[in-house]
């Protein structure tokens, strides 16, 4: 009887079966991303290049962008003009952004030359690109918030591209209040969500193997034979 | 025997790229990597901040403009009155000037919003602010009672006279039929030089305001603002979009956006902005969707940078 059965039961193969929405969601998440895949202690032997540190470097820089940005937000956009500490925090915000973009661009091009979208990783690539694009918009709104000559000039210049495509009427680059809200709430949240999704996808699919990896490779020799791939999609 | 080309497909199949790695592994501590990354990036950020600080070029104000370059200020105020300034002829979202919008063939995206942020340059930049003075100049009456034709005639005559005067100095303009225009422009100059125009133009009759478009558009209609930007290598033809004041790195990630403005057909097109934005949207989509684009997705196979990235793996094959 259903009433006598708990929300979790075991099937013949021993795998847990869930009957509630919550349990089913947990089951799906555990199947897609079991703990040892989410937080592994090892990586394939080919994960051995400096190129692999730049993704993590971008995440580290993002942490400092959020931290320095939070201090600037708490004190208001004009604080750094009149405070030595404010100027220093503003400097850390600027340089962490510069490093963030430098790391992200190196990471992006590294992944391009690795054709890292292979083997069902297209969404990982797309979320990475999305993170890059949303970060560009976020940085742009930050430049508009400097409340100095640079932000005045950027507001004057940038309006033309936005107005030309019909966006400027709603995304008014000269409206400090509007841009402030975009910069300190919506856009950082968007970057954080997309980056988190990207990282989860990387963990789900694992790091893409070398382009020319073959079953005859010394590092794969102990593995079970893998059927030869067909010739489609070789373009 | 011909070796089959390496697959660069995005599809998950029963191949090495799609299956969990069955080969040898190495210890790799993600959290340790993150911790080391945080320390290294912190040192870099703190070091760069301590050594280079950050740029902070003070704002230009209407007061500083009026005091430093009064001739340019008066000439600009005259164009605002006459409706011949850049803002007056801009089109949506500021006004409905005919044939002012940028178009993509028959597509006019700029007009879609309509006049959502209305700016009437004569009233918003000149007459309105002057009316907030304790004693508004009497010239306002003469201006408001005149016909559009008369106003256009006065401002055109005064604008011409200013451009021909030595140093464009309003004091050296010969007598002419300028109506109330010299008095209005002169009164606005005095107001700006006293520092009372800045808050009036920003607040626009309210106590609270965060929208600085009126001040920025007025500044942008003059030559002084552009001169300052030019000196800071910020103008479009100086790749200014990716530059920063002083010798600091700016938004270098906008290099391609900025580069398109430097080349034909964008450079001389009256629709440059819409063409550049569209091109950037297409290029960004191409890069985003590269896994699905035959040919483009094969570039990593044809140009084997991956041999360098995975040289250790390939060495031990």
* Assembly ipTM: 0.93
User: What is the distance in angstroms between the Cα of A115 and the nearest Cα belonging to chain B?
Assistant: 6
- Does the distance separating the beta carbons of A212 and B6 come in below 8 Å? yes
Q: Which of A61-75, A210-224, B259-273 has the lowest mean pLDDT?
A: A210-224
Token pair, residue A163, equals 């107005």
Question: CA-nearest residue of chain A to B274?
Answer: A164
Token pair, residue B35, equals 């911790």
Do B305 and B314 touch, CB atoms closer than 8 A? Answer: no
Would you call A17 helix, strand, or coil by DSSP? strand
The pLDDT of residue A120 is 95
- Does the distance separating the beta carbons of B306 and A211 come in below 8 Å? yes
Residues of B in contact with A48 (CB under 8 A): 26, 312-313
d(CA B19, CA B25): 15
Do B96 and B115 touch, CB atoms closer than 8 A? Answer: yes
Do B80 and B213 touch, CB atoms closer than 8 A? Answer: no
The pLDDT of residue B137 is 95
The pLDDT of residue A3 is 46
Q: DSSP for A158-217? A: HHHHHHHTT-TTTS-TTBHHHHHHIIIIIHHHHHHHHHHHHHHHHHHH-PPPPTT--TTS
pLDDT band at residue B219 using 50, 70 and 90 as cut-offs? very high
Residues of A in contact with B201 (CB under 8 A): none
Token pair, residue A172, equals 């008014």
- Does the distance separating the beta carbons of A155 and B210 come in below 8 Å? no
- Does the distance separating the beta carbons of A105 and B253 come in below 8 Å? yes
The pLDDT of residue A187 is 97
Share of chain B above pLDDT 90, in %: 88
For an interface test with A, the pick among B2, B4, B6, B17 (most A C-beta atoms closer than 10 Å) comes out as: B17
- Please compute the mean of the pLDDT values over residues A5-11 and round it to a whole number: 56
The pLDDT of residue B205 is 79
CATH class entry, domain A46-209: mainly alpha
User: What is the distance in angstroms between the Cα of B310 and the nearest Cα belonging to chain A?
Assistant: 7
User: What is the distance in angstroms between the Cα of A191 and the nearest Cα belonging to chain B?
Assistant: 16
CB within 8 Å of B303: residues ≥ 6 apart? A113
B1 pLDDT more than 50: no
Do A172 and B118 touch, CB atoms closer than 8 A? Answer: no
- Please compute the mean of the pLDDT values over residues A114-137 and round it to a whole number: 97
Closest CA to A195 of A137, A107, A109, A130: A130
**β partners of residue B25:** A44
A78 pLDDT more than 80: yes
Token pair, residue A181, equals 């809200």
Question: CA-nearest residue of chain B to A164?
Answer: B110
Inter-chain CB pairs, A–B, below 8 Å: 348
pLDDT band at residue A15 using 50, 70 and 90 as cut-offs? low
Q: DSSP for B82-133? A: HT-STTTT--TTT---TT-S--BTTB-GGGGG-SSS---IIIIIIIHHHHTS
B45, B291, B294 ranked by CB distance to A95: nearest: B45
> What pLDDT digit, counting tens, does each position of B189-211 carry?
999 999 999 999 998 778 889 99
Residues of B in contact with A39 (CB under 8 A): 30-31
The pLDDT of residue B107 is 94
A229 pLDDT more than 50: no
CB within 8 Å of B17: residues ≥ 6 apart? A118, A119, A121, A208, A209, A213, B7
Domain ranges of chain A: 46-209
d(CA A97, CA B176): 57
The pLDDT of residue A12 is 57
pLDDT band at residue A10 using 50, 70 and 90 as cut-offs? low
A7 pLDDT more than 60: no
pLDDT band at residue A227 using 50, 70 and 90 as cut-offs? very low
User: What is the distance in angstroms between the Cα of B162 and the nearest Cα belonging to chain A?
Assistant: 26
The pLDDT of residue A14 is 60
Do A46 and B22 touch, CB atoms closer than 8 A? Answer: no
B76 pLDDT more than 70: yes
Share of chain A above pLDDT 90, in %: 81
CB within 8 Å of A185: residues ≥ 6 apart? none
- Does the distance separating the beta carbons of A148 and B57 come in below 8 Å? yes
User: What is the distance in angstroms between the Cα of B36 and the nearest Cα belonging to chain A?
Assistant: 9
The pLDDT of residue A13 is 59
For an interface test with A, the pick among B3, B8, B9, B256 (most A C-beta atoms closer than 10 Å) comes out as: B9
The pLDDT of residue B3 is 59
A150, A215, A232 ranked by CB distance to B55: nearest: A150
- Does the distance separating the beta carbons of B7 and A229 come in below 8 Å? yes
- Distances, alpha carbon B42 to alpha carbons A101, B50, B255, in Å: 15, 12, 27
For an interface test with A, the pick among B24, B243, B247 (most A C-beta atoms closer than 10 Å) comes out as: B24
B28, B48, B250 ranked by CB distance to A43: nearest: B28
> What pLDDT digit, counting tens, does each position of B28-70 carry?
999 999 999 999 999 999 999 999 999 999 999 999 999 999 9
Which element (helix H / strand E) includes A28? helix A21-32
User: What is the distance in angstroms between the Cα of B293 and the nearest Cα belonging to chain A?
Assistant: 9
- Does the distance separating the beta carbons of A119 and B15 come in below 8 Å? yes
For an interface test with B, the pick among A59, A164, A229, A230 (most B C-beta atoms closer than 10 Å) comes out as: A164
Token pair, residue B168, equals 């464009």
- Does the distance separating the beta carbons of B252 and A217 come in below 8 Å? no
> What pLDDT digit, counting tens, does each position of B120-145 carry?
999 999 999 999 999 999 999 999 99
Q: Which of A99-113, B22-36, B211-225 has the lowest mean pLDDT?
A: B22-36
User: What is the distance in angstroms between the Cα of B179 and the nearest Cα belonging to chain A?
Assistant: 32
Would you call B20 helix, strand, or coil by DSSP? coil
pLDDT band at residue A216 using 50, 70 and 90 as cut-offs? confident
> What pLDDT digit, counting tens, does each position of A170-179 carry?
999 999 999 9
- Is there a cis peptide before residue B93, judged by omega within 30 degrees of 0? yes
> What pLDDT digit, counting tens, does each position of A21-43 carry?
999 999 999 999 999 999 999 99
- Please compute the mean of the pLDDT values over residues B236-263 and round it to a whole number: 94
The pLDDT of residue A233 is 43
Looking at every residue in chain A, the average pLDDT score rounds to 90
**β partners of residue B107:** B104
Largest CA distance in chain B: 96
Closest CA to A148 of A78, A204, A86: A78
pLDDT band at residue A230 using 50, 70 and 90 as cut-offs? very low
Residues of A in contact with B8 (CB under 8 A): 115, 118, 211, 233-234
- Does the distance separating the beta carbons of A143 and B52 come in below 8 Å? no
Do B214 and B125 touch, CB atoms closer than 8 A? Answer: yes
d(CA A25, CA A33): 12
Residues of A in contact with B52 (CB under 8 A): 91, 95
Residues of A in contact with B250 (CB under 8 A): 143
- Does the distance separating the beta carbons of B17 and A119 come in below 8 Å? yes
The pLDDT of residue A235 is 44
- Is there a cis peptide before residue B126, judged by omega within 30 degrees of 0? no
Tokens 């084997």, located at residue:
B304
The pLDDT of residue A106 is 98
For an interface test with A, the pick among B7, B244, B266 (most A C-beta atoms closer than 10 Å) comes out as: B7
- Please compute the mean of the pLDDT values over residues A152-181 and round it to a whole number: 96
For an interface test with B, the pick among A50, A55, A72, A94 (most B C-beta atoms closer than 10 Å) comes out as: A94
- Please compute the mean of the pLDDT values over residues A57-63 and round it to a whole number: 98
Where do runs of H (alpha helix) occur along chain B? Answer: 30-52, 62-68, 70-82, 128-131, 139-145, 148-164, 181-193, 197-203, 213-221, 223-231, 255-260, 272-288, 299-302, 306-309, 311-315
The pLDDT of residue A133 is 98
Q: Give the Cβ contact number of residue B283 at 10 Å.
A: 13
């Amino acid at each position: 009887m259903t009433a006598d059965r708990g929300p979790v039961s075991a099937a013949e193969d021993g795998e847990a079966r869930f009957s509630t929405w919550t349990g089913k969601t947990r089951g799906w998440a555990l199947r897609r991303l079991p703990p040892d895949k989410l937080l592994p202690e090892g990586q394939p032997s080919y994960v051995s290049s400096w190129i692999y540190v730049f993704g993590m470097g971008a995440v580290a820089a993002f942490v400092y962008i959020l931290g320095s940005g939070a201090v600037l937000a708490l004190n208001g956009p004009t604080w750094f003009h009149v405070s030595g500490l404010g100027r220093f925090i503003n400097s850390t915000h600027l340089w962490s952004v510069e490093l963030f973009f430098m790391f992200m661009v190196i990471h992006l091009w590294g992944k391009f030359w690795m054709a890292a979208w292979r083997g069902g990783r297209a969404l990982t690539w797309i979320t990475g690109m999305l993170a890059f694009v949303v970060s560009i918009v976020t940085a742009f709104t930050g430049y508009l918030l400097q409340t100095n000559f640079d932000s005045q000039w950027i507001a004057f210049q940038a309006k033309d591209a936005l107005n030309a495509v019909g966006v400027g009427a709603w995304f008014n680059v000269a409206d400090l209040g509007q841009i402030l809200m975009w910069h300190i709430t919506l856009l950082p949240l968007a970057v954080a969500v997309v980056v988190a999704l990207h990282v989860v996808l990387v963990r789900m699919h694992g790091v893409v193997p070398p382009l020319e990896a073959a079953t005859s490779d010394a590092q794969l020799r102990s593995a079970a034979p893998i059927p030869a791939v067909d010739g489609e999609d070789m373009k | 025997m011909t070796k089959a080309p390496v697959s660069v497909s995005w599809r998950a199949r029963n191949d090495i790229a799609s299956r969990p790695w069955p080969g040898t592994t190495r210890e790799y501590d993600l959290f340790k990597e993150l911790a080391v990354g945080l320390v290294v990036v912190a040192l870099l950020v703190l070091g760069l901040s301590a050594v280079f600080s950050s740029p902070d070029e003070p704002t230009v104000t209407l007061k500083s403009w009026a005091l430093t370059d009064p001739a340019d200020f008066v000439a600009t105020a005259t164009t605002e009155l006459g409706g011949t300034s850049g803002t007056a002829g801009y089109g949506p979202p500021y006004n409905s000037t005919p044939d002012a919008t940028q178009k993509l063939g028959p597509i006019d995206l700029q007009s879609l919003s309509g006049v959502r942020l209305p700016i009437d340059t004569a009233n918003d930049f000149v007459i309105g602010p002057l009316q907030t003075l304790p004693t508004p100049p009497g010239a306002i009456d003469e201006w408001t009672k005149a016909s559009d034709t008369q106003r256009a005639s006065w401002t055109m005559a005064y604008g011409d006279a200013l451009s021909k005067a030595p140093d464009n100095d309003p004091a050296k303009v010969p007598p002419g039929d300028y109506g109330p225009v010299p008095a209005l422009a002169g009164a606005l100059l005095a107001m700006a030089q006293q520092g009372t125009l800045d808050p009036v133009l920003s607040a626009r009759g309210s106590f609270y305001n965060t929208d600085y478009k009126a001040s920025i558009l007025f500044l942008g209609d003059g030559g002084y603002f552009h001169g300052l930007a030019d000196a800071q290598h910020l103008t479009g033809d100086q790749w200014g979009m990716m530059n920063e004041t002083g010798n600091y790195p700016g938004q270098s990630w906008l290099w391609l956006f900025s580069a398109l403005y430097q080349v034909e057909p964008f450079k001389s097109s009256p629709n440059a902005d819409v063409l550049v934005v569209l091109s950037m949207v297409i290029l960004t989509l191409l890069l985003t969707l590269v896994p699905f684009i035959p040919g483009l997705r094969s570039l990593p196979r044809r140009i084997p940078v991956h041999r360098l990235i995975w040289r250790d793996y390939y060495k031990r094959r």
